[in-house]
């Protein structure tokens, strides 16, 4: 089913990536002002101007709004797509490869809103348009709750311990300490993790990503054009959005049979680089459980072994994971500690690692980054980036 | 038959449409209706207008026995406000694999049992309670015995 056809391979590059940094509090800033800051920053860092941009691809705010706000004179292609953010990167890359546009501004603006934090309701400007009428009630596993439900199945089938989920949270926090853009940087111990407030058993507060304000922005263009810009390019080597027919949370067939399976099979078919060639790994961690699943699905370890694998590949003193003594996992802190960026933070950090711009988090000689974004149902995604 | 307007009014917060209206009409009669293909016999939930296996549009909302096995299980320590739900005792929500077909599942609360008796793998049966003026399908542990 997974085709090896990949005419996009290494033809398109992410020429730059910029962030505002993230905060776990309601800022006095608008959604649009955060997007503007990140977009202007990345355009300038690449040595471009508004007139160079001829494509716009983002989440919120809308592409027309961003174009008007930034005075981008003309575009020939634009799209607003559902997250996680591999979707934006994959689709913008395809648009560049096909010639719909040559220089695409891509952006994502995580923002604290009632769907991810009730605390946002304290800000009257965040209440609008959210349809705060009656919801479907608690008697469902649809939506984000679905990951908690499958985490319970994971514990049932494999006897996974709560500490195994905790290893993911502790790795994220240890890495966020070295990332000035991260929202959560205070040290976290296993005792802290195990005593955190239970939200939906078996997942507690620290198993769930932190709602933040902030923005990431990217320039996506041809590999050729990117080589003429100011920063070293990161080539888009392979991308996939995987999904199966039983994509409702409650109807998903099994722990090993969902969108992640399609992602991994497709990356194996399309990419020249195997897991041994990956220098830095970005498994999604919107819920800690998703990372355990990705580690097993991509093949770092067998089914049900992710907890033991992390235990064997982490430094107990720092909590930091170094896979096979070499490969960092979410060196920016991930969604759990940098902030819930729906994948844009993972991709931004992957680009910076390949560009050699990751500061004290820099992985020596990072040449290939693997991003496995999203979860099981309708948002499993994969992206392989290479140093240009 | 209850009008479309009244049906939608009975289930505020749920997304009702022409494909799942029969399922919700069934709830008003305390019957759990799941779509079954009249051509090939496949059960499928949630409701869709065609059978995904044979593409027949003869999908008939059909009553299920309501017996099955807990496949997924969570305990909500907090959650959306709902009549009669007090999260001070964590609220158990289970996805139940129904006996009609492997992999066919339906999700609802588990009631009438202490939380430590509710677990993945336990057998359950369907029951109904009234919430906010409409019947709500819930599950009870099977060994409770039928009322």
Q: What is the reported pLDDT for B135?
A: 97
Q: What is the reported pLDDT for B76?
A: 98
Within 8 A of A156 by CB-CB distance, chain B residues are 119-121
Q: Is the pLDDT of residue B146 over 50?
A: no
Q: What is the reported pLDDT for B143?
A: 80
Considering the segment(s) B65-147 as one domain, its CATH architecture is: Beta Barrel (2.40)
Within 8 A of A136 by CB-CB distance, chain B residues are 13-15, 80
**What residue spans of chain A are helical by DSSP H?**
31-45, 63-70, 86-98, 145-158, 162-176, 190-194, 223-227, 259-270, 288-298, 306-312, 334-337, 344-355
Q: How far is CA B116 from CA A64, A140, A145, B122, B143, in A?
A: 53, 20, 21, 12, 15
Average pLDDT over residues B73-96: 96
Q: Is the pLDDT of residue A149 over 70?
A: yes
Q: Give the residue range(s) of CATH 2.40.50 domains in chain B.
A: 65-147
- The owner of tokens 């069934």 is B26
Q: Is the pLDDT of residue A232 over 80?
A: yes
Q: How far apart are the first and last CA of chain A?
A: 30
For residue range A279-305, list pLDDT tens digits in order. 999 999 999 999 999 999 999 999 999
Run of H or E residues at B138: strand B134-141
Dihedrals phi, psi of A300, to nearest 5 degrees: -65, -25
Question: How does residue A133 score in pLDDT terms, banded at 50, 70 and 90?
Answer: low
How many degrees, rounded to 5, is the angle at CA A225 between CA A219 and CA A226? 50
User: What's the gap in Å between the CA of B147 and the closest CA on chain A?
Assistant: 23
DSSP β-ladder status, A77-80 and A280-283: unpaired
Average pLDDT over residues B69-87: 96
Task: Print the SS3 string covering A264-301.
Answer: HHHHHHHCCCCHHHCCEEEECCCEHHHHHHHHHHHCCC
Q: Which residue has the higher pLDDT, B133 or B147?
A: B133
For residue range A316-368, list pLDDT tens digits in order. 999 999 999 999 999 999 999 999 999 999 999 999 999 999 999 999 999 99
CB-closest option in A138, A153, A246 to B76: A138
Residues 64-93 of A with CB under 8 A from B: none
Q: Is the pLDDT of residue A129 over 90?
A: no
Whether the CB of A202 is below 8 Å from some CB of chain B: the reply is yes
Question: How many whole angstroms from its chain centre is CA A73?
Answer: 30
**CA–CA gap between residue B80 and residue B103 (Å, rounded):** 28
Cβ atoms of B100 and B67 closer than 8 Å: no
Q: Is the pLDDT of residue A140 over 50?
A: yes
Q: Is the pLDDT of residue A118 over 90?
A: no
Number of CB pairs < 8 Å for A and B? 88
Does the beta-carbon distance from B74 to A246 stay under 8 Å?
Answer: no
**CA–CA gap between residue A374 and residue A241 (Å, rounded):** 9
ipTM of the complex: 0.91
User: What's the gap in Å between the CA of A337 and the closest CA on chain B?
Assistant: 22
Q: Is the pLDDT of residue B64 over 90?
A: yes
Tokens representing residue A137 in the block: 């009630």
CB-closest option in B75, B106, B136 to A200: B75
Q: Is the pLDDT of residue B144 over 70?
A: no
User: What's the gap in Å between the CA of B52 and the closest CA on chain A?
Assistant: 9
């Amino acid at each position: 089913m997974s085709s090896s056809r990949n005419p996009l391979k290494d033809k398109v590059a992410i020429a730059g990536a910029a962030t505002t940094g993230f905060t776990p509090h309601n800022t006095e800033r608008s959604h649009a002002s955060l997007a503007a800051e990140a977009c202007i920053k990345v355009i300038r860092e690449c040595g471009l101007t508004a007139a160079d941009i001829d494509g716009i691809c983002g989440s919120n705010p809308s592409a027309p709004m961003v174009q008007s706000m930034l005075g981008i004179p003309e575009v020939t292609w634009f799209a607003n797509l559902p997250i996680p953010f591999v979707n934006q990167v994959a689709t913008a890359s395809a648009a560049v490869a096909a010639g719909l546009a040559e220089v695409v501004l891509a952006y994502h603006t995580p923002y604290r809103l009632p769907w991810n934090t009730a605390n946002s309701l304290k800000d009257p400007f965040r209440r609008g348009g959210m349809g705060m009428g009656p919801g479907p009630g608690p008697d469902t596993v649809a939506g984000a709750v679905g990951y908690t439900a499958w985490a319970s199945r994971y514990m049932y089938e494999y006897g996974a311990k709560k500490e195994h989920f905790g290893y993911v949270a502790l790795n994220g926090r240890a890495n966020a300490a070295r990332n000035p853009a991260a929202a959560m940087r205070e040290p976290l111990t296993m005792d802290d993790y195990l005593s955190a407030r239970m939200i939906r058993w078996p997942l507690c507060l620290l198993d769930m990503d932190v709602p933040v304000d902030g923005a990431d922005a990217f320039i996506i263009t041809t590999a050729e054009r990117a080589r003429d810009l100011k920063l070293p390019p990161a080539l888009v080597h392979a991308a996939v959005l995987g999904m199966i027919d039983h994509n409702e949370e409650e109807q998903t067939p099994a722990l090993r049979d969902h969108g992640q399976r399609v992602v991994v099979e497709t990356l194996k078919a399309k990419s020249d680089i195997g897991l041994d060639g990956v220098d830095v790994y970005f498994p999604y961690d919107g819920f800690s459980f998703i990372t355990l699943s990705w580690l097993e699905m991509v093949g770092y370890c067998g089914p049900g072994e992710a907890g033991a694998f992390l235990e064997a590949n982490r430094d107990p003193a720092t909590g930091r994971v170094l896979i096979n003594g070499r490969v960092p996992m979410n060196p920016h802190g991930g969604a759990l500690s940098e902030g819930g960026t729906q994948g844009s933070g993972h991709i931004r950090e992957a680009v910076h690692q390949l560009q050699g711009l990751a500061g004290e988090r820099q992985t020596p000689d990072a040449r290939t980054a693997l991003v496995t974004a999203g979860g099981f149902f309708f948002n499993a995604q994969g992206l392989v980036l290479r140093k240009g | 038959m209850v009008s479309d307007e009244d049906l939608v009014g009975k289930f505020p917060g749920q997304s009702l449409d022409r494909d799942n209206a029969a399922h919700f009409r069934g709830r008003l009669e305390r019957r759990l209706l799941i779509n079954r293909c009249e051509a090939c016999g496949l059960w499928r939930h949630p409701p869709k207008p065609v059978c995904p296996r044979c593409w027949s549009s003869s999908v008939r909302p059909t009553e299920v026995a309501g017996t099955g096995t807990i496949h997924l299980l969570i305990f909500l320590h907090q959650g959306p406000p709902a009549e009669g739900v007090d999260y001070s005792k964590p609220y158990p929500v289970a996805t139940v694999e129904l006996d009609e077909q492997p992999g066919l599942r339906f999700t609802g609360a588990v009631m009438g049992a202490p939380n430590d008796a509710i677990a993945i793998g336990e057998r359950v049966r369907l029951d109904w309670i009234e919430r906010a003026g409409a019947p709500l399908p819930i599950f009870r542990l099977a060994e409770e015995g039928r009322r």
